[in-house]
């Protein structure tokens, strides 16, 4: 009998498997798709030689992950590449706010009236990434914080809506940039905790950067798989699990799936019937003949470009997605990894992707509104497109079964749902079945390629198995 079987080979499933295998447990991973990776994969979606990341592409919480920091992933091929500017937020007049590795450069891009305000906002937390990542990338009520003073101080700001914190700023550059950072949650900007997400993204840029992995996000998954095999674990692909009886006998079954899939496979009935899935995205991957011709020079040097531009427009775009409305002027998150990673495209060519927010399960075509929004800030963009791969919510859900209705967060993060997920429970990684556990991003700390949900789930599995062996 195996010690543990992991269902799903996404970043959290692989992290959980590694954590258990390195403790001497026998572990096997079963993945329904022909390739591992889940939300961290790389594929030729458009033309031969153009390598795209179907989901995640830029990884501030990956390079800053406490779980990954303990793993020798570089020995298994993971190499981080940093753009000159982590993120740019252009405006129609050709200027841009920037999120730089340098706090001063970031502050000055907001203009002299708001530079000091930004410095004061982030200053108490600079140089404390390690303790903050430990304290906030976890279930908040499980264990004491490493740095209680910083934890309390950050928490007072983090719980506020970003719309409230933005009142401290005079100009739209700072407001727009912070709103764009908060919008990664795909939740209304006036909601609880949106400042916390914006600040964590900003601090990550200053402390660890917003890098991409050489070769694509698949490199993260492949490195985790290599480490798992080095510890004696095994991986099985093209193996769809419909019920627990499909799997070999094990002392623990660890699910890197949606909560509803776990309930169906493990026979837990309506255990997660009240889980709410959030809005989706409409994503386009591009093969380009040249780099995107941004009007703002800063955007041509940035790994990530946010297109809003104003906090009002960003908020309206998110509200439309949350309330089931068709996108009209979308807020876009875009990535241009081939600027720093030559493995992504043939010589002289480039890859680029953009996504905007749409309602869960939306079946429309937002290609035109997305490209019109890009053209506002990069005139002539469409002339450089060699091919495009379009994915709305149905296609995104088909690519990854965890993304129910196209929800790439595997559960709404609005309000308290970023903290209480998938439902209120003392230990969210355990279930009503003593041998069944949940390790996906449906559990705290939530979305992102950081492995922390898998890390903490594995801790509870290990403790349960160790107690049972006594």
pLDDT tens string 201-256: 999 999 999 999 999 999 999 999 999 999 999 999 999 999 999 999 999 999 99
Helix, strand, coil % in the chain, rounded to nearest 5: 40, 15, 45
Beta bridge partners, 7, equal 30, 255
Percent of the chain predicted with pLDDT > 70: 100
H-helix segments, 415-451: none
Helical axes 194-207 vs 148-158, angle rounded to 10°: 130
Residues 6+ apart with CB under 8 A from 268: 262, 431, 432, 433, 436
For 21-73, how does the pLDDT look when each residue is reduced to its tens digit (9 = 90+)?
A: 999 999 999 999 999 999 999 999 999 999 999 999 999 999 999 999 999 99
User: At 241, phi and psi to the nearest 5?
Assistant: -100, 120
C-alpha to C-alpha distance for 406 and 436, rounded to whole angstroms: 25
C-alpha to C-alpha distance for 229 and 27, rounded to whole angstroms: 10
Both tokens assigned to 467: 């107690």
Place of tokens 């429970």: 425
C-alpha to C-alpha distance for 392 and 358, rounded to whole angstroms: 8
Would you say residue 273 has pLDDT above 80? yes
Would you say residue 399 has pLDDT above 70? yes
DSSP 277: -
Of 391, 405, 376, residue with least CA distance to 90: 376
Q: What is the pTM of this model?
A: 0.96
CA 368 to mean position of chain CA atoms? 25
C-alpha to C-alpha distance for 413 and 276, rounded to whole angstroms: 9
Spatial contact of 357 and 327, defined as CB atoms under 8 Å apart: yes
C-alpha to C-alpha distance for 70 and 78, rounded to whole angstroms: 14
Beta bridge partners, 352, equal 286
The pLDDT of residue 469 is 63
Both tokens assigned to 200: 């964590």
C-alpha to C-alpha distance for 353 and 470, rounded to whole angstroms: 52
Out of 115-119, 221-225, 287-291, 423-427, least confident range = 423-427
Residues 6+ apart with CB under 8 A from 413: 185, 186, 187, 278, 421, 446, 447
Torsion-angle region of residue 192: left (phi > 0), alpha (psi -120 to 50) or beta? beta
C-alpha to C-alpha distance for 20 and 104, rounded to whole angstroms: 42
Both tokens assigned to 42: 């790389």
CB atoms within 10 A of CB 430: 17
Mean pLDDT of the region 128-140: 96
CA 342 to mean position of chain CA atoms? 23
Mean pLDDT of the region 428-455: 97
Strands (E), 75-233: 80-81, 85-90, 96-99, 212-213
* Structural domains for the chain: 2-43+212-274+410-469 (3.50.50.60)
For 294-350, how does the pLDDT look when each residue is reduced to its tens digit (9 = 90+)?
A: 999 999 999 999 999 999 999 999 999 999 999 999 999 999 999 999 999 999 999
- For 63, counting Cβ atoms within 10 Å of its Cβ (0-12 exposed, 13-18 middle, 19+ buried), the class is buried
- For 434, counting Cβ atoms within 10 Å of its Cβ (0-12 exposed, 13-18 middle, 19+ buried), the class is exposed
The pLDDT of residue 468 is 72
C-alpha to C-alpha distance for 364 and 107, rounded to whole angstroms: 39
Strand order of the sheet with strand 302-307? 96-99, 85-90, 302-307, 332-335, 350-358, 280-288, 385-391
The pLDDT of residue 470 is 57
Both tokens assigned to 198: 């914006």
Per DSSP, the residues of 290-332 read S----SSGGGGGEEEEEE--SHHHHHHHHHHHHTTPPPSS--E
Query: What band does 124 get if pLDDT is binned at 50, 70 and 90?
Result: very high
Torsion-angle region of residue 361: left (phi > 0), alpha (psi -120 to 50) or beta? left
The pLDDT of residue 364 is 97
- For 243, counting Cβ atoms within 10 Å of its Cβ (0-12 exposed, 13-18 middle, 19+ buried), the class is exposed
Query: What band does 436 get if pLDDT is binned at 50, 70 and 90?
Result: very high
| C-alpha torsion 277→304→352→43, nearest 10 | -60
Residues 6+ apart with CB under 8 A from 84: 301, 302
The pLDDT of residue 467 is 83
Would you say residue 148 has pLDDT above 70? yes
The pLDDT of residue 390 is 98
Q: How many helices (H) and strands (E) does the chain have?
A: 16, 14
């Amino acid at each position: 009998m195996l010690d543990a079987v992991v269902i799903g080979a996404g970043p959290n499933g692989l992290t959980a498997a590694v954590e258990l295998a390195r403790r001497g447990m026998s572990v096997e991973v079963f993945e329904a798709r022909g390739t591992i990776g889940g939300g961290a994969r790389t594929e030729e979606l458009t033309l031969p030689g153009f390598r795209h990341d179907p989901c995640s592409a830029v990884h501030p919480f990956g390079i800053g992950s406490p779980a990954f920091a303990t793993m020798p992933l570089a020995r298994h091929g993971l190499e981080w590449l940093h753009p000159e500017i982590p993120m740019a937020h252009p405006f129609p007049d050709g200027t841009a706010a920037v999120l730089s590795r340098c706090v001063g450069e970031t502050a000055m891009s907001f203009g002299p009236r708001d530079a000091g305000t930004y410095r004061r906002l982030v200053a108490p937390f600079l140089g404390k990434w390690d303790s903050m990542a430990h304290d906030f990338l976890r279930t908040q009520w499980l264990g004491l914080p490493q740095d209680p003073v910083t934890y309390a101080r950050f928490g007072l700001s983090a719980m506020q809506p970003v719309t409230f914190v933005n009142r401290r700023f005079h100009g739209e550059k700072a407001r727009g940039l912070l709103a764009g950072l908060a919008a990664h949650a795909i939740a209304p900007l006036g909601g609880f905790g949106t400042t916390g997400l914006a600040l964590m993204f900003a601090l990550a840029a200053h402390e660890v950067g917003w890098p991409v992995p050489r070769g694509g996000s698949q490199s993260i998954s492949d490195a985790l798989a290599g480490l798992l095999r080095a510890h004696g674990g095994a991986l099985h692909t093209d193996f769809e699990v419909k019920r627990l009886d499909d799997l070999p006998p094990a002392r623990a079954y660890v699910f890197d799936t949606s909560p509803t899939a776990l309930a169906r496979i493990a026979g837990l009935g309506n255990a997660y019937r009240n889980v709410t899935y959030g809005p989706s995205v409409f994503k386009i991957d591009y093969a380009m003949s040249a780099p995107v011709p941004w009007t703002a020079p800063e955007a041509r040097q940035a790994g990530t470009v946010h297109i809003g531009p104003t906090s009002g427009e960003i908020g309206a775009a998110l509200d439309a997605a949350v309330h089931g409305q068709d996108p009209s002027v979308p807020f876009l998150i875009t990535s241009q990894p081939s600027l720093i990673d030559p493995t992504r495209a043939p010589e002289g060519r480039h890859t680029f992707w953009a996504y905007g927010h749409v309602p869960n399960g939306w079946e429309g075509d937002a290609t035109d509104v997305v490209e019109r929004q890009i053209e506002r800030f990069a005139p002539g963009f469409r002339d450089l497109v060699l091919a495009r791969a379009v994915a709305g919510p149905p296609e995104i859900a088909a690519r990854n079964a965890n993304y129910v209705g196209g929800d790439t967060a595997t559960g709404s993060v609005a309000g308290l749902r970023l903290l209480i997920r998938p439902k209120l429970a003392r230990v969210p990684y355990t279930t009503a079945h003593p041998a069944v556990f949940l390790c996906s991003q449906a559990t705290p700390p939530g979305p992102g390629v950081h492995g922390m949900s898998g890390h903490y789930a594995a801790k509870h599995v290990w403790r349960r198995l160790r107690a049972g062996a006594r």
